[in-house]
């Protein structure tokens, strides 16, 4: 190890030449027994993430009630979702520029952010007028920027081998948490406030759990210095740049589907209940899309550790993109077929997400791992604001078929980028050389 340059010199070289040194913790021949503490940390972070992300789509799940109670139209409901995306992008930009995820304890940052997001989510109930609700959702999204990237950094500190599985599990938890308002809405059919309150309580509990039930992992990195210029490596380093393009293509599709799957299921299935006057069928099926997505994310993590990161992103994007191009054109009379395909879409659309982040942890300088993860996710969520707003506009015009087909463009671009990365020497840094 004496022949290696110092961490600071490696970071400077990466910035100047667009080349990053390999994360030595990812060496395939280094033993890394996954003992009980690893799985305990994974379980705590995953459960806390489920709870914390319950506030993300809370207004989407109760959209029909908000239209009646607060006089909002479908366009304004779309902007409430975009407000969260904008808030998240703003929060991640501030966090990345200030290197917050690497300068401060990721566990404490997660806790403070989750609790704040839960409290701010409650403002949707008392405030009136689109403007104030928009502000409340923007601030909620900004706080969530301190939840997602720090959670990934915490797990990267616990896992070197099996990192794809660990981050896949965490993103699966994020998926369940994001879909939980649909479950709450299906239960509290006539009480939209209960769905909002329930999601806020979960977020606060998630925030309180993390700092007390999990510690920093053995591969956690310290010693980062304030260096906003480090963000440039996401564009100057070829491997990171292609990973970013793949991630942006994935994000173009993902959150637009998640934002509007409830409305799509309502259009296909109607407002019928599943049991008596309770358990709304459309909302329950929409939650099912998130549920299978969680399973898909975990499965992709296992696949990624065994067969490589690029393959684990290419295969799901091919599947989800293919479904996006035609599912909206299927007649609603074939509702069973649409539901089945929606489940396949839900499982594949999120399956690759964690593996982009895992690739970033393996291609970036360890000391600034949290900063690069934060910046990457911020750019991705900023892009989702466009596709989320585009879907309802297209639905009102040509319909669901064209709206969803436009989402399929993202996976096509992402697949091309990851195929290119797979052919390059940089891909050997991924998954212990499995690409």
Quick check: 202 pLDDT over 70?
Answer: yes
**Torsion over CA of 262, 265, 267 and 271, rounded to 10 degrees?**
-90
Quick check: 139 pLDDT over 90?
Answer: yes
- The vertex-125 CA angle with 120 and 127, nearest 5°, equals 85
Other beta carbons within 10 Å of 129? 11
Closest CA to 198 of 268, 118, 274: 118
Q: Give the mean model confidence (pLDDT) for residues 57-62.
A: 70
Q: Provide the CB-side half-sphere exposure for 98 (13 A, CA).
A: 10
Token representation of residue 257 = 């589907």
How far apart are the C-alpha atoms of 417 and 246, rounded to whole Å?
5
What's residue 226's pLDDT? 56
How far apart are the C-alpha atoms of 421 and 327, rounded to whole Å?
30
Q: Which helix (H) or strand (E) segment is 18 a member of? A: none
Quick check: 214 pLDDT over 90?
Answer: no
Model pLDDT for residues 144-201, shown as the tens digit of each residue = 888 888 887 788 777 777 777 777 877 877 777 767 666 666 565 567 788 788 889 9
Model pLDDT for residues 387-430, shown as the tens digit of each residue = 988 998 999 899 999 999 999 999 999 999 999 999 888 878 77
Q: Are strands 273-275 and 278-280 parallel, antiparallel or unpaired?
A: antiparallel
Average pLDDT, the chain: 80
Q: Is the separation of the CB atoms in 45 and 216 below 8 Å?
A: no
Instruction: Give the DSSP letter string of 361-421.
Output: HHHS-GGGHHHHHHHHHHHHHHHHHHHHHHHHHHHHTT-HHHHHHHHTHHHHHHHHHHHHH
Q: Is the separation of the CB atoms in 312 and 304 below 8 Å?
A: yes
Q: What are phi and psi of 278, to 5 degrees?
A: -115, 180
What's residue 433's pLDDT? 62
What's residue 381's pLDDT? 82
The pTM (predicted TM-score) of the whole model is 0.73
Q: What does the domain layout of the chain look like in residue ranges? A: 36-227+235-433
Quick check: 218 pLDDT over 70?
Answer: no
Look up tokens 């059919």; give the residue. 189
The pLDDT-based confidence of 432 (bands split at 50, 70, 90) is low
What's residue 201's pLDDT? 92
- CATH second-level architecture of 36-227+235-433? Up-down Bundle (1.20)
What's residue 420's pLDDT? 94
Other beta carbons within 10 Å of 344? 17
Q: Is the separation of the CB atoms in 89 and 382 below 8 Å?
A: yes
What's residue 276's pLDDT? 58
Quick check: 237 pLDDT over 60?
Answer: yes
Length of the chain: 435
Higher pLDDT, 223 or 52: 52
How far apart are the C-alpha atoms of 215 and 107, rounded to whole Å?
8
Quick check: 114 pLDDT over 70?
Answer: yes
What's residue 26's pLDDT? 38
Model pLDDT for residues 352-398, shown as the tens digit of each residue = 988 888 888 888 777 777 778 888 888 888 898 899 889 989 998 99
């Amino acid at each position: 190890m004496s022949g290696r340059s110092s961490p600071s010199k490696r970071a400077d070289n990466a910035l100047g030449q667009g080349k990053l040194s390999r994360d030595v913790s990812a060496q395939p021949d280094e033993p890394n027994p996954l003992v009980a503490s690893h799985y305990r940390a994974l379980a705590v972070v995953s459960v806390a993430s489920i709870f914390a992300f319950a506030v993300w789509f809370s207004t989407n799940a109760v959209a029909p009630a908000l239209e009646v109670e607060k006089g909002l139209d479908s366009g304004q409901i779309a902007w409430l979702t975009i407000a969260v995306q904008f808030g998240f992008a703003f929060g991640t930009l501030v966090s990345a520029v200030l290197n917050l995820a690497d300068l401060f304890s990721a566990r404490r940052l997660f806790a403070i952010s989750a609790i704040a997001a839960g409290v701010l989510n409650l403002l949707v109930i008392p405030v009136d007028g689109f403007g104030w609700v928009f502000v409340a959702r923007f601030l909620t999204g900004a706080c969530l920027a301190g939840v997602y990237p720090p959670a990934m950094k915490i797990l990267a500190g616990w896992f070197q081998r099996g990192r794809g599985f660990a981050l896949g599990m965490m993103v699966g938890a994020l998926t369940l948490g994001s879909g939980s308002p649909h479950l709450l809405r299906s239960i509290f059919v006539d009480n939209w406030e209960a769905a909002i309150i329930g999601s806020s309580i979960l977020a606060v509990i998630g925030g309180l759990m993390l700092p007390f039930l999990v510690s920093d992992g053995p591969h956690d990195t310290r010693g980062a210095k304030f260096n906003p210029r480090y963000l440039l490596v996401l564009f100057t380093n070829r491997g990171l740049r292609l990973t970013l393009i793949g991630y942006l293509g994935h994000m173009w599709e993902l959150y637009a589907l998640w934002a509007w799957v409830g409305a799509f299921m309502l259009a296909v299935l109607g407002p019928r209940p599943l049991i008596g006057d309770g358990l709304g069928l459309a909302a329950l099926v929409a939650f099912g899309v998130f549920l299978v997505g969680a399973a898909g994310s975990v499965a992709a993590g296992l696949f990624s550790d065994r067969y490589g990161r690029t393959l684990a992103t290419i295969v799901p994007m091919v599947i989800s993109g293919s479904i996006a191009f035609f599912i909206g054109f299927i007649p609603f009379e074939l509702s069973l077929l649409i539901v089945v395909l929606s489940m396949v879409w839900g499982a594949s659309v999120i399956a690759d997400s964690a593996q982009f982040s895992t690739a970033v942890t393996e291609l970036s300088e360890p000391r600034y791992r949290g900063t690069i993860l934060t910046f990457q996710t911020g750019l991705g969520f900023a892009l989702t604001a466009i596709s989320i707003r585009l879907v309802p506009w297209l639905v009102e015009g040509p319909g669901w078929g064209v709206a969803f087909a436009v989402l399929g463009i993202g996976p096509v671009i992402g697949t091309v980028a990851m195929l290119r990365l797979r052919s390059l020497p940089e891909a050997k840094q991924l998954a212990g050389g499995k690409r």
